[in-house]
Amino acid sequence: MTLTNPASQAKSAHALPSYLNADQLGPWGIYLQQVERVTPYLGSLSRWVETLKRPKRALIVDVPIELDNGTMAHFEGYRVQHNMSRGPGKGGVRFHQDVTLSEVMALSAWMSVKNAAVNLPFGGAKGGIRVDPKTLSRGELERLTRRYTSEIGIVIGPNKDIPAPDVNTNAQIMAWMMDTYAMNEGSSALGVVTGKPLALGGSLGRNEATGRGVFTVGHEAALHMGLDISQAKVAVQGFGNVGGIAAKLFAQAGATVVAVQDHGGTVYQPSGLDVPALLKHVAEHGSVKGFEPAEVLPDAAFWGVDCDILIPAALEQQITAANAHQIKARMVIEGANGPTTPEADDILHERGILVVPDVIANAGGVTVSYFEWVQDFSSFFWSEDDINARLVRILREAFAGIWQVADAHQVSLRTATFIVACTRILQARELRGLYP
Ligand code: GLU
């Protein structure tokens, strides 16, 4: 028998497994760097900070389905519950060909931070399937969704972990998820997912909520910066549920949306794009490509467009050390999760460009998800005006608190949001104590 030196044993208990390593590039490494930056501000709670550096639970599932041509295909699915100290797990499910476990881990961690930042009684979770849903028929998509839901059924539930839409998932997919879970449980379970269709316990305002939140938080930030939205020029990357709706609301407030980029290309019109017409074009053609009379820009030129407000609302790691110097905007409002790398964050900070981080800027979606969950439990549904008013109140209050913390510590809004959120998470962690 070999005796282990207690000192080395203690050390190895703290050494992170390689997949959790901060040195690895990618979203999880970025998240860990963000946690490092906040740790000096956590006071005595920093003794619990390791909790934030590991997901509580990560499930990988095989999702086999029969394709329409009679053959079988296997897809890899994930559900990661990063932290549940403050309540059940909460966060979306994304269907994308590039999804990885490490990405879903980071997205789940950002949900913990986001939910705590706006003080929702939720932990953080996220799910995904490594698939390009555009290659599937509707029947294949339904079978994929149902089998995935059944596989993760052991960890989700209205009081355990509540999925919602994210990239390439929508209300119909939530309906299939809810139905599959309810059929397996043998009871109705409206609150197992949010972002459902209205006819199935969905909430008014949920579809628009993330974009509305981006607009609301952007508006608050602009007030602090002395920027008049009605005079502002806006550029948006991503024109789906987040970017499209945010662009619509900015345009309604009088802003000039000068550039939009999506997977089809970049359209530019210095006098202002007709946003309702562009939304219609995208609904009909699948992307901004071919929208007239806008100019077409090479994709890399998007970052250097003359604008006041830049809204990345697509995927992670879009603003990097390679393009952060080109940005002309006064503020970046992160509609996407994780669009800015830490190096780019520093460059923008040094250049005096305000970054309103994802974990507050796009918290509108999960806030209305929370309203949906509450409405499902009470079987009493609120009016859209009521929902929007509550959403705006929650986001404004959260943003004001974060601004104060940023001011007091002279840190970026991202670090301030992490200070507020991580303090809440670790307070809950400490009060609950370690079991056993
Ligand atoms: N997927 C959205 C997000 O990243 C919403 C999550 C939810 O509503 O649970 O915040």
Question: Is the CB of residue 127 below 6 angstroms from any atom belonging to ligand 1?
Answer: no
Residue type, 344: A
Q: Is 134 a catalytic residue?
A: no
Q: Are 381 and 362 in contact (CB under 8 A)?
A: no
pLDDT band at 11 (very low <50, low <70, confident <90, very high): very low
| CA–centroid distance, residue 12 to ligand 1 (Å) | 35
Hey, which of 192, 369, 371 would you mutate to test ligand 1's pocket, going by the most ligand atoms within 8 Å of its Cβ?
A: 369
| CA–centroid distance, residue 419 to ligand 1 (Å) | 21
Question: Is the CB of residue 166 below 6 angstroms from any atom belonging to ligand 1?
Answer: yes
Residue 227 has pLDDT above 50, yes or no: yes
User: Which atom of ligand 1 is found nearest the CA of 194?
Assistant: 8
Residue 351 has pLDDT above 80, yes or no: yes
Q: Give pLDDT tens digits for 173-206.
A: 999 999 999 999 999 999 999 999 999 999 999 9
Structure tokens at 350: 């040094």
Q: What is residue 32's predicted lDDT score, i.e. its pLDDT?
A: 95
Question: Is the CB of residue 92 below 6 angstroms from any atom belonging to ligand 1?
Answer: yes
Q: What is residue 264's predicted lDDT score, i.e. its pLDDT?
A: 96
Question: Of the residues 11, 53, 114, 126, which is catalytic?
Answer: 126
Q: Degrees (nearest 5) of the Cα angle 408, 412, 415?
A: 90
Question: Is the CB of residue 194 below 6 angstroms from any atom belonging to ligand 1?
Answer: yes
- Please give the Cα distance from 272 to 302 (Å, whole number): 15
User: Which atom of ligand 1 is found nearest the CA of 90?
Assistant: 9
| CA–centroid distance, residue 167 to ligand 1 (Å) | 10
- Please give the Cα distance from 242 to 181 (Å, whole number): 27
Packed helices 206-225 and 243-252: angle between N→C axes, nearest 10 degrees:
50
Read off the pLDDT of each residue in 259-282 and give the average, rounded to a whole number.
98
Q: Give pLDDT tens digits for 96-152.
A: 999 999 999 999 999 999 999 999 999 999 999 999 999 999 999 999 999 999 999
| CA–centroid distance, residue 55 to ligand 1 (Å) | 18
User: Which atom of ligand 1 is found nearest the CA of 110?
Assistant: 4
Residue 22 has pLDDT above 60, yes or no: no
Q: Are 59 and 94 in contact (CB under 8 A)?
A: no
Residue type, 435: Y
pLDDT band at 12 (very low <50, low <70, confident <90, very high): very low
Query: What is the architecture, at CATH level 2, of domain 6-188?
Result: 3-Layer(aba) Sandwich (3.40)
- What whole-number percentage of the chain has pLDDT above 70? 94
| CA–centroid distance, residue 3 to ligand 1 (Å) | 48
Q: Give pLDDT tens digits for 68-107.
A: 999 999 999 999 999 999 999 999 999 999 999 999 999 9
Q: Helices (H), strands (E): how many in the chain?
A: 13, 13
The domain limits of the chain are 6-188, 209-356
Hey, which of 79, 112, 115, 166 would you mutate to test ligand 1's pocket, going by the most ligand atoms within 8 Å of its Cβ?
A: 166
Chosen CATH of 209-356 out of 3.10.20.80, 3.40.1050.10, 3.40.50.300, 3.40.50.720: 3.40.50.720
Read off the pLDDT of each residue in 322-327 and give the average, rounded to a whole number.
97
Q: What is residue 5's predicted lDDT score, i.e. its pLDDT?
A: 44
- Please give the Cα distance from 344 to 320 (Å, whole number): 5
User: Which atom of ligand 1 is found nearest the CA of 114?
Assistant: 10
Q: Give pLDDT tens digits for 53-71.
A: 999 999 999 999 999 999 9
Q: What is residue 9's predicted lDDT score, i.e. its pLDDT?
A: 44
